[in-house]
Amino acid sequence: MLSAENNTLLTRVGPGTPMGDLMRRYWHPIAPVAELLENPIKKVRILGEDLVLFRDGEGKFGLIEERCPHRGASFEFGIPQHNGIRCGYHGWHFDTQGRCLDTPMETPDCPLKNKVTAKTYPAQALGGLVFVYLGPQPAPLLPRWDLYVCPNSIRQIGLGVIPCNWLQCQENSFEPGHNTHLHGHYYEYVLRRQGRTDMPQRVRINTNSRYESTYHLRDYGIRVDTSMTNLATNVKTPSFIFNNLLFPCAHRRGGMFVRGEMQIKTPIDDTNTLFINYLVYTGPPGIDVAEQEVVPYFETPLWDEKGQPILDSVQAQDAIAWVAQGPIADRTKEHLGPSDEGILMYRQLLKRQLEIVQNGGVPMNVFTDPEQNVCLNVEPPIGTFGKFPPKFELNMGYDFGFQDAYGPAIGQLMDLLKRVDESGIMRIGGAGPGI
């Protein structure tokens, strides 16, 4: 368990808080590029700050304080300009660096234009996402993790707002032990209550397996190695890399061929989290993938039209586990066991990086050398070998998250899977069987 003081230390992300200071050393994804192509202005909230994200007439992205410095009108109702954004109320024009370029209702000799600035933050696009940086200058490089930049790939982005603190989303999602019960026994219980007998193979594997994991500190965060024991035969699989936690608030799953996934938890504020499923499908050598002009996005279905969780969805099962702990989990009342080794390791890692920032140092995963930031690779998850079935179901050696099927790239993806399957190319890598 954590003390109340430490629980507060690790969960609060607003301006001036220790965790908020740490989080502001990193670039965070806040919206798909495609959404800003549909509407170039979007009101956002991140790390407890209300801001407006925009795409100007030059195609550059900017992040500006919500209220215009003139009389407090919201830039949510502004007008994109060739360079920056203009307030819709009285037309004051600010560029992406916050400089006031025009005060059209004032006389030409009015000094306000040269005296007033707006608070702005850097914003950049990468891999179909817009990332923002709210920390001290100079801003570090936007990390080019492999899934954001790998060629010959189809991408799609799933989005959902989770009404709870970011930490419980992150620390509960990179440990595999919950697969046996949440995605196994509980999943089976939900389906039986619905009168269904079509148990997905994922359910059968999870209910009949015990997951055992070891955790290893790495330069990028934590590597999770896992083995599975069949409870009926007592046969244990070789250990495989389950996923890689990318500090501070993301984890990477899957190999490079065909499916890779980044799950990112962007803290909106202390009690809300933007959950991003960044899904990448890469053609193996010899299988060409048509280049996407725009990376599409979709809302990951978590709740139905009545506001009830969609409990026969793996992603929604994860979400209710996070939300059911409360807006901010009370870790003073928890009782951790040996299987929670990874949770303890992650909390200790957070505290060490907090101390580094408080002592004026540079925390992990902050990059400043362009030559090292061409394509940042983590250790690829290694699983069993097997052919790709061209359908949405889990077979041994093949993991497909159910949220993928809701994405607009499903047609391209099915075509890719079919071509891979017909080619006879054997699977290389993967997230391991039954997860």
Residues 199 and 312 both lie in one domain: yes
CA–CA distance, 169 with 244 (Å, rounded to integer)? 15
Residues 163 and 45 both lie in one domain: no
CA–CA distance, 296 with 34 (Å, rounded to integer)? 6
**431 found inside a domain:** no
**346 found inside a domain:** yes
pTM (2 decimals)?
A: 0.92
Residues 366 and 395 both lie in one domain: yes
Residues 313 and 281 both lie in one domain: yes
**10 found inside a domain:** no
Q: CA separation (Å) from 27 to 108, 140, 168, 354, 367?
A: 39, 8, 20, 17, 11
Summarize the confidence of residues 411-420 as an average pLDDT. Answer: 83
**Has residue 189 got a pLDDT over 50?**
yes
Structure tokens given for 356: 């580094």
Residue that wins the pLDDT comparison between 381 and 261 = 261
Classify strands 153-162 and 297-299 as parallel, antiparallel or unpaired.
parallel
Residue that wins the pLDDT comparison between 210 and 75 = 75
- The tens digit of pLDDT for each residue in 284-317 reads 888 999 999 999 999 998 888 898 888 888 888 9
Count of structural domains, the chain: 2
CA–CA distance, 16 with 377 (Å, rounded to integer)? 33
Query: What CATH number does the domain containing 383 carry?
Result: 3.90.380
Summarize the confidence of residues 263-280 as an average pLDDT. Answer: 97
Structure tokens given for 421: 């399957």
Query: What CATH number does the domain containing 41 carry?
Result: 2.102.10.10
Which run of H or of E encompasses 166?
helix 166-171
Residues 129 and 172 both lie in one domain: no
Q: Which residues contact 121 (CB under 8 A, 6 or more apart)?
A: 51, 63, 64, 132, 133, 134
Give the domain range for residue 214: 146-423
- The tens digit of pLDDT for each residue in 132-177 reads 999 999 999 999 999 999 999 999 999 999 999 999 999 987 788 8
Residues 100 and 240 both lie in one domain: no
Residues 157 and 284 both lie in one domain: yes
What's the confidence (pLDDT) of residue 71? 96
What's the confidence (pLDDT) of residue 314? 85
Residues 38 and 86 both lie in one domain: yes
Residues 294 and 395 both lie in one domain: yes
Contact 78, 86 (CB under 8 A): yes
| Alpha helices, H only, 33-142 | 33-38, 112-115
Average pLDDT over the chain, rounded to whole?
89
Residues 255 and 300 both lie in one domain: yes
